[in-house]
Chain A
Amino acid sequence: MSKQLLKGNQAIALAAVQAGVDAYFGYPITPQNEVPEYLSKYLPEAGKVFVQAESEVAAINMVYGAAGAGKRAMTSSSSVGIALKQEGLSYICGSELPCLIVSVMRSGPGLGGIQPSQADYYQATRGGGNGDYHLIVYAPESIQETIHYIKEGFDVADIYRNPVMILIDGLIGQMMESVDMDVPYKKREIPAKTWAAMGKKYHTGQNVINSLSLNPDHLEKHNLDLQAKYNLVRKNEVRYELINMENPDYVIVAYGSMARIARSAIETLGEKGIRVGMIRPITVWPFPKEAFAKIPATCKGILVVEMSLGQMVDDVEIANRGKFPVAFYGRAGGNVPAPTEVEQAILNFGKLVRL
């Protein structure tokens, strides 16, 4: 139970080892390079597998192989590297395999920049792979919270047989914070992986990991089964935090580092007599729509702040159902808004309302 000063990316590596990851496959890309660097040391020491793959494409396919063989597998990357994994993620969802992906967002589009960003919200929640699928996406705001969701994420992936993404930005990956790696985590009950393709002598019958189905009725049934699974996730796994929600004048919706910056703005606005609350989604898929029913009718509006030019704001508008005016403030290119900018956004709310 002792605290240590750790860099986010290093804490991710340690948390994965603690969660019992069997294999890490990844490729260097700024700003998450410390993840493979630390794991290249920790995993062999723990008798587990580390491979620096030749590309992010290769890495996600190695994850797919190891996951299909019944093992805990993970990868990590950033933005443009996550873009390369979209095909693999679609296959992993279609084949119903568990795995963990850490996405450390940097600015884009294209090669973009290496500074922090939240412009991959669409990439994480809408997905760039083909077909009707979803990743379960956690968006922690601190290194401590990231440590927790890596451990829970592996369990959730195994329970639902679906990829889990830990979506953070370059700030969380690169900063150092005082964390406790040994905060107790209650492991969830996970069914045995009797479906894994690991050699016929280890189970009955023949196990085939596959997403191909040329018969439309069979494939439709498979898709309906996947949706039923996603509905279970929507029912059971939504996570969010409410801050200062008794009679707020305004409600901010923000996640990750942006939520921490907003917390400072909420404090200073409070000192000026403006009551501001916050809905902080922790799962961005499934999105915490239910939290929006908790906004009192006296609220004047919702301000969405993102390190992008507006992606989560779409989900806020959906959840809001036209009830309150929704305003947006964001920065791009790797710029991180200061708390004073969030303050100003509230003070200028009317000018920022979306049409």
Chain B
Amino acid sequence: MIKYQKTKGLSDKKTHYCPGCTHGIIHKIVAEVLEEMNLLDNTVGVASVGCSVFSYDYFNIDMEQAPHGRACAVATGIKRVLPDRFVFTYQGDGDLASIGIAETIHAANRGENISVIFVNNAIYGMTGGQMAPTTLEGQKTTTSQLGRNHATQGNPIKVSEIFSQIDGVAYVERIAMTSPQNYRKAKAAIKKAFTYQLAGKGFTMVELLSTCPVNWGMAPADAMKWIDEKMSLTFKPGVYKDIDHD
């Protein structure tokens, strides 16, 4: 009896992600949920710009590549004209919270029935390790070489907290991608977000605290430890809004 195998929601293409990068795990979870909910043939995904720019090569669904930051506007366009399709975006911290913050907040504010998978690894991976809006105070990056200083560079942005305040948002949860137990939590959260979209409840978002082993300069398992021991102190995991239980 098969207890675990690769989901049909992912293609055969070997990913370009670095060894141990949690993008791979998150892709799997999203693809598994789409497969289990029978959505693969009725979904339009929106790819963003960052390490996951090639996600359209990995997900076995129709996709549209969005300009950097604009995924929630692109998803709005798709969902408004095809309201019976399942529409999600897959975005990193620069895409969603830096250049795209306006498009993301306004899609949430309008209560667009889209689901956002937010991969937060506190750094800009694809471009080589620059500071991100979610980089921690004191964290060294290629554009904060002495460590992020809130006096001149601002504080890390707490996306889940902000979005929990917006009326059009139905559900926001933050989970650390750091263990099999959290894998199950992430999968349940993503399934809930997707179910809420199908029920027309509004904007849903799951924030995944993710690793960037290469740019953090850590081995993959150590990077997960860093999330649990350091990153989670600033970005506390938990449910920030649930329209059915608040």
Contact = CB atoms under 8 A, between A and B. Distances in A.
Q: Do A and B come from one complex?
A: yes
B44 A198 contact: yes
Given A61-B103, A206-B61, A199 B80 contact: no
A55 B44 contact: no
A88 B77 CA distance: 13
A22 B81 CA distance: 7
Interface string A180-203: 000000000000000001111100
Contact of A69 (B47, B61, B78): B78
A23 B40 contact: no
Given A55-B102, A212-B65, A198 B82 contact: yes
B115 interface: no
Contacts of A200: 40-43, 60-62
B53 interface: yes
A203 B55 CA distance: 20
Contact of B70 (A23, A58, A208, A209): A58
Nearest to B59: A206
A24 to B, nearest CB: 10
B54 to A, nearest CB: 8
A66 B66 CA distance: 12
Given A66-B81, A209-B63, A197 B44 contact: yes
B179 to A, nearest CB: 33
Interface residues of B, number: 33
A160 interface: no
Contacts, number: 128
Interface in A71-129: 71, 73, 87-88, 91, 95
Interface in A23-66: 23, 25, 49, 51, 53-55, 57-59, 61-66
Nearest to A71: B81
Given A54-B102, A198-B82, A200-B41, A61 B77 contact: yes
Given A23-B80, A95-B65, A206-B61, A61 B73 contact: yes
A210 interface: yes
B43 A199 contact: yes
A69 B62 CA distance: 10
B189 interface: no
Nearest to B62: A197
Contacts of A178: none
Interface of B: 40-44, 46-47, 53-54, 56, 60-67, 70, 73-78, 80-82, 85, 102-103, 106, 110
State the 3 A-B residue pairs at the shortest beta-carbon distance, nearest first: A65-B77, A61-B73, A62-B77
13 contacts: A58-B76, A61-B70, A61-B74, A61-B77, A64-B64, A65-B76, A69-B78, A71-B82, A197-B78, A198-B62, A200-B42, A200-B43, A212-B53
Interface of A: 22-23, 25, 49, 51, 53-55, 57-59, 61-69, 71, 73, 87-88, 91, 95, 197-201, 206-212
